[in-house]
Structures are given as structure tokens and as C-alpha cells.
Amino acid sequence: MKSLKSWLAVASVGSAGLTAVACTPNSPTGSGSGERSAAGAAATEVGGLLYPAVPMPALPASTPVGEPVVIPNAIVQYDMRTQLPAAVDGIVELLATPLPEKAAFNPNDPDIVYHPRDVKKEQPYRKVREGDIIVRGQILARLDDQLVYTQKMQYKAMMPAITRALTASTEAAKLQSDLLEQMRPLLTKGALSVSEFLQQQSLWARYVENQMNSEKELIKTDGEYKSAETQHKRYWIVSEQNGRVVRLLKSAQDFAKAGETILEIQSTDRVKVEAKLDIGYASQVRKGMLVYVEPTRPLGSNALTNYHRQEVTAVAVTAHPGRPLVVSGGLDGAALVWDVTATKQSTRLANPPGVGVRSVTATGPKAKAHLVAVGGEDGKVRLWDVSNPDKLPKEPVGTCDEAHAGGVTAVAFSPDGRYLATASGRDVFVWSVADRRKMYALPADHRDAVTAVRFTPQSTLVTVSKDKSIRTWKVGETGAAVAAVIDHRGGAVDVLGVSSDGARVLFDKDASRLDVVSLADERSVGTVQNPGGGARFASFAFFSPDDSLILTAGADNDQKGELTVWDTPAPGNRAAERRRLVTPKNAAITCAAFSADPAFKFIAVGTVDGGVHFWTSPTDGDGKRIVGEIVSIVPADAKSVQVRVELANPIDKATGEGLQDRSAATIIVPPGGVPPAAVPNVQAVPIAAPAPVVVPAGGAVVATPGAPAVQPVSATAPLVTIPPVSLPPVHRLPTDSSPKK
């Protein structure tokens, strides 16, 4: 880019008709010229800078790594569906899942229920519905288990008594054994008769027998308890995998026979994605290669009321901290201000009757006042002060002193809000906002109508034209001069955005590809590529206020009601699709704008049917790519192969959202595949362990995080485990039974 000093030098050396023309190396299209000034346009004295310039940040160098293979129109498929049957005959008492301990819930929610025998309502359950996300080990239904539960509790109640009997008999046997040891010397000395000793030994044997009988009774009862517990679990319907409920075949109070299906689950742990790939690219993919999968995630809009009666031609968002307003203009002559953070209602700015609105813009966060500029079909620009959202004005603060010859199709404020640029046809005017005075017109270098204007922090103005060029103008106090021309656009997109730091501009290379181009040296530093030949860009493409996202509109009939949100590509990379925004009734989108407020980020759009809609901006988790593995490549027909990718299915913890069965996705194969080192930086694929689920009442159970099945919890104190009884040595009589004298 030529500096202001060099332009002044050209003006001082040459005559008024001298033109400055230079070939541009590194053209983003790879061919054609990037002329520094349009033919026939004279370099002009521009005076001092229009506003203080900020240095343009240097973009990091990008190393070309080759184009990725993009496989569009892939279909997500879930292979595994699991039917959960009843294991025994019984009535379905609950088709519900227990809430985690201390979980907040609305007690008036009709989906909250309790077990019929939970009289104290200690454990709430939530009814299971089709579409619910479930986790491994989660209880989903319970059959009438009263009989087996009563039997189990009977065995459990018996075990403490048997344990005490075993303890008592063991102690008695021990005491009797000690007594025999003390009596043995008496027997030897003749102080005790043999019959008395044998009586005491017989009593010891009975104690030992009681001890052994108690031990056998404890072992038997414990086994019967465990058997009853196992039988009891057969009355619980427990998921053995993570998934989604797709069908309920029984309802609460229905009778189910053993083997009858209660509900059906679709496993979400692992899915496959399949698509056809042109045979010409088949050599670039191979089995075992790691690839990216970008799922298509459509998102419906938030509702607003009081629509325009005709097409909405422009929208803008104000910079009110914490309360940004949406301003929309339509062919019906209405300019509406929407309070999207509160009432969702609109206030009308008084525009002359019968004068359609062609463009609107609002000052940014660095401006001293919140102003709105409205460009009309009558060629006039009207300024409104909307600084007080609670008391919007009934009249504009004024109208710019001159009018364009035709409708004003593009308007933009300078970063400080002191200047305004407007476009109508090939004419571009620069205005002083304070006195609404026209300062000057830009040289008519464009050969066709200007469709977009944008100031940058470097005191430059970027203009986009239907002549398939982008021009950068150095704007001063007395005039403007062309600093660079980027031409040979595809011309599919009328409004091309400039990054907020002034370093990058979007360039429509063709209908299916946008390049992110450096304004400093015109090199391409990234791409936004629509998957498939049928998906085309149109209308507009621009950056979010923080430059992290790019918003694009589609051209085809089935895409005119969609916007695509992309992650701004890193140098040398391709942008990743983050979200699809879909309007009600697929109404064609005509304009859009981002909110710059960090506390309330959203995207507002206008539609051809007069609607104004908005979406909250995608969250950080929406745009992370998922890594999958190519598991098979098989011939599909003479001109293509079928590529199958398998991958884990990450479930969003907050929304329960993951890949949907039969949904669309795009497979991205970077040159050589995804490096293994990059995999940990991608969205984590393991399913998080479920939170503990406690279920008391008719049979208390616990689902341990990550455990494959529920575990019993004793209703009484823990059982004391009694080790096998160690019997004392048998007390035998001496060989010589006669007492010694």
C-alpha cells in the first residue's frame, strides 16, 4: 500500500491528469493486476488525516500447505438402537428417572412424580420423554416390585439377628472351651469324675453346633438376600449406554410381560458419517486417516413483533453498553428501533411518507454520542440521536445538507463518530457529522455502483463495487486518494466486510469461496469455502466486531433463509463452520448486523418479507471440530467412492446436544490428515460420567458414576461380616481312663 507521503510526492511531480498505476504482486486470485489507482484518476491532495490513524497490525506469515479435500453432503448415522424390555411380568409403576440428590426442581412441574410407596416424597422423579438424553447406569422405569422387595427386606432384617446369635454362640463355645481347659487338671488329679468332665465337653459340643448352625443360617440368609436383590434389580429398567430415548412403548400403570419392550434407546456413544467423494480426489484419502467432521447445526431465531410491511433493506446495532438496540430500515419507509434486550418491541423513527429506507448505520463504542444515520430513496441522509433508549426522539437532529442523485445504498460512520461516508451509484460522499456538511466526494474511480463502504482505524475508507473491485482510499480533511485496488472479484457478494483492526478484507473469489485478504500486501491469508458445488455465497459477508467470526449469506433458493457462522480462519487455514441460522418459513435474508456488546452478543437480520429476527451469538463450544477416523473407502459408482468416517459423539453438558441421526455434516481432509498432536486440542470426545443418581423408597438403589449397573444400599446398619468359626481342639480323655493314685 502506498503511504500518504508517496501520494503527495506523486501529486507534486505530475500534472493534474497524471495517474499512478502499478501492478500488484500476490494478487489473491493469482492472476490479473492490483492497480494502485484506477485509469484516468488523478492523485489528489488530501490534506491532514481525517482522524488519528492507528498502525495496522502485522498479520503472521502463512505457510501454504495445500488445499484440504472437502467432502460435502455427508450424512450422520446412528448404527445402534437398543430395546429395553421388561425382565419379569409386572405393572409399570414409574416411567421416570430419579433426580440427582439436591437437584433443584419445580414441585408444580407435572413431569415431577414420586414412587407410589414413597409416602414422605423423599425422592422426586422426572418423567421420561421421547428425545431425552440419558447416560449409562440411569434408571428409566420401575415395575411393581413390592413382593420381591418385601422378601428382600425380610432377609435383610433377619441377618442382624442371626449375626447376634452367631456372635453369642461363638462366645459361649469359647467360654466353655476355656472352662474345659481349667477342668482338665482336676480330672487328672482325680478331683473330677470322668462323667462330669464328659458332661461339660458335651455342653461345649452343643455350643459349637449352635455356632456352626448360626454360621450356616447366616450364609444361607445372605445368599437368599443377594438372590432377592438380583431378582429385585430385574424390576428396574436401567440404561446400559449413553443415548437418547427415541420411542416409548409403555406408559405408567401399563402391564408388561417379560420380554416386552418398555422403551427404545438410540446409542450416541459412537456414530458414523458417510459421503460420496469424486474419484479424482480418492488418492488423497486412505483408511485409518484422521479427519475433521463439521456438523451442520441449524438454529432458529428469537421472535420479534411489529414487522415491516415491505422488504427490510438494512439493519444496524447501536453501541449502548449492556443494552444494544437494533435499527432496521425498510422499503415501506419505516425506520424502527428495537429494544431486543427487554421489551422486544419497536419504536418508529419519523421518516418522510413514501420515502423508502435503503441503508442504516450506528456509531461505534468510541463515539461520544449514539447516533443513527438513515439513508433514504430520496438521496438524503437523516441523523438521529438515540443516546437515551428510554426516550427515543420524535424528530431527527438534522439532514445532511446535500442529497445524492439516487437512493443512498451504503452508509458508515468513522470510528470516532465524527464523520460519515455515504454511497449512491458510483458517488461516495464524506460528511462532517457535527454540522451535517458535505466535505467532499471521492473521485469517481469505480466503474459501477458502490455497494459497501467501511472506515478503518488507519484513516482509510474501503469501498466495494459492482465493477468487481475493492478500493482502499486514504481519507483526509480536504479529499481522498486511492491507496490500493484489489480487483478480479467474482462479484457474487455485494457487501464485503473489513476486520475491525483494518488488516483484512473479505474477497469473493467465486460463488463458493471467499478469501481473507491482507490489506497491507493483498495476499490471501485464509479461506472460507462452501462445501459442494451447489452452495454459493451471496449478498453479504463480514466479520464480527471482535473479528473471531465471519457471517455469510447463501444464494440458492433453499439457502436464502440461512446464514452461516464461521470461525475466522487462522493464517493459511480454512474457516470451520460453526452454526447455521435459519429464519421462520425460510424467509430470504436481505441484511444482517452483529452486536458489539460483550455482555449481550447477538446477530440481527432483516428479511424480504419484512421480518426482523435475532440470534444470540454461538458459544465457544459450538464451533469446535470433531475428529473422526476413515474406516472404509469403497467404490460407489464409476465416478465416486463412498467414504465412511467413525467418531465419538460429544454431548454438550448444558444442552444435551450432539450429532443428530440423519443430520448433515461436512468431512474435511487436511493435506495428509489431521496430525495426531492436534487431536487433544479438538473438542473432547469421551462422554462425561453421569452424576450420581439416588433412588430410595420401595427399594433404595444408587447409580455410581460410570458404573454399568446400580448397587444396593442397605436400609439398616451395615452387616457385620463374621469370619469362619475356628473351633477349639477336641477335648479327649487320657489313654488310661482310670485316675492315678
- Number of Cβ within a 10 Å radius of residue 504: 24
Q: Looking up cell 412403548, which residue turns up?
A: 249
Q: Is 82 part of any domain?
A: no
Residue whose C-alpha cell is 504482486: 25
| Assigned domain for 215 exists | yes
pLDDT score, position 65? 65
**Does residue 177 belong to any structural domain of this protein?**
yes
pLDDT of residue 716: 31
The H-or-E segment that residue 10 falls in is: helix 4-13
* Residue stretches of the chain with pLDDT short of 50: 1-43, 621, 680-741
Contacts of 374 by beta carbon, 8 Å cutoff, 6+ apart: 329, 335, 349, 351, 357, 359, 360, 381, 382, 383, 384, 396
d(CA 494, CA 506) in angstroms, rounded, equals 11
Q: For 224, list phi and psi in degrees, rounded to 5.
A: -65, -35
d(CA 170, CA 212) in angstroms, rounded, equals 9
Q: Which of 95, 89, 134, 81 is nearest to 237 (CA)?
A: 95
Q: CB within 8 A of 434, min separation 6: which ones?
A: 418
What pLDDT is stored for residue 728 in this prediction?
38
On whether residue 262 sits in a domain, the answer given is no
Strands (E), 350-479: 357-362, 371-376, 381-385, 398-399, 410-413, 419-424, 427-432, 437-441, 450-456, 460-465, 469-475
- Could you tell me if residue 176 is inside a domain? yes
Note whether residue 211 is domain-resident: yes
In this structure, what C-alpha cell is assigned to residue 339? 429494544
Candidates 282, 292, 163, 274; CA nearest to 220 is: 163
* Neighbour count for residue 272 (Cβ, 10 Å): 17
Task: Say how far apart CA 413 and CA 360 lie, in whole Å.
Answer: 10
For residue 702, what pLDDT is reported? 33
Domains in the chain, number:
1
In the prediction, which pLDDT does 419 show? Answer: 98
Residue matched to cell numbers 493483498 = 522
Would 229 be classed as within a structural domain? Answer: yes
Residues whose CB is less than 8 angstroms from the CB of residue 439 and which lie 6 or more positions away in sequence, other chains included: 419, 429, 430, 431, 432, 477, 478
Rg over CA atoms, the chain: 40
Q: Strands of 381-385's sheet, edge to edge?
A: 357-362, 371-376, 381-385, 398-399
Q: How far apart are CA 77 and CA 273, in angstroms?
A: 6
Q: Which domain holds residue 214?
A: 147-233
Phi, psi values for residue 427, rounded to 5°: -85, 135
Looking at the domain assignment, is residue 644 inside a domain? no
Q: What pLDDT, on the 0 to 100 scale, is given for residue 369?
A: 95
Half-sphere exposure of 49 (CA within 13 A, CB side): 15
Q: How far apart are CA 627 and CA 680, in angstroms?
A: 10
Read off the amino acid at residue 715: A
Residue-level pLDDT at 28: 37
CA–CA gap between residue 246 and residue 691 (Å, rounded): 22
Non-local CB neighbours of 230 within 8 Å, separated by 6+ positions: none
Please say whether the beta carbons of 91 and 255 come within 8 A: yes
Grid cell, residue 658, equals 450432539
Rounded CA separation 600/322 (Å): 6
Distance CA 418, CA 275 (A): 53
Distance of CA 429 to the CA centre of its chain: 43
DSSP annotation string for 68-129: PEEEEEEEEE---EEEEE-SS-EEEEE-EEEPPTT----TT-TTEE--TT-TT--S-EEE--
Q: Is the CB of residue 348 less than 8 Å from the CB of residue 339?
A: no
Give the DSSP H/E element, type plus range, for residue 481. strand 480-486
- Give DSSP secondary structure letters for 242-256: -EEEEEE---TT-EE
CA distance 616 to 618: 6
DSSP classification of residue 374: E
Helix (H) or strand (E) holding 199: helix 194-233
Sequential DSSP letters for 48-71? SBSSPPPPPPPPPP-----PPEEE
pLDDT for 486? 95
Beta strand segments in 617-708, E: 626-637, 640-648, 664-669, 693-695, 701-703
> Could you tell me which residues are beta bridge partners of residue 113?
125
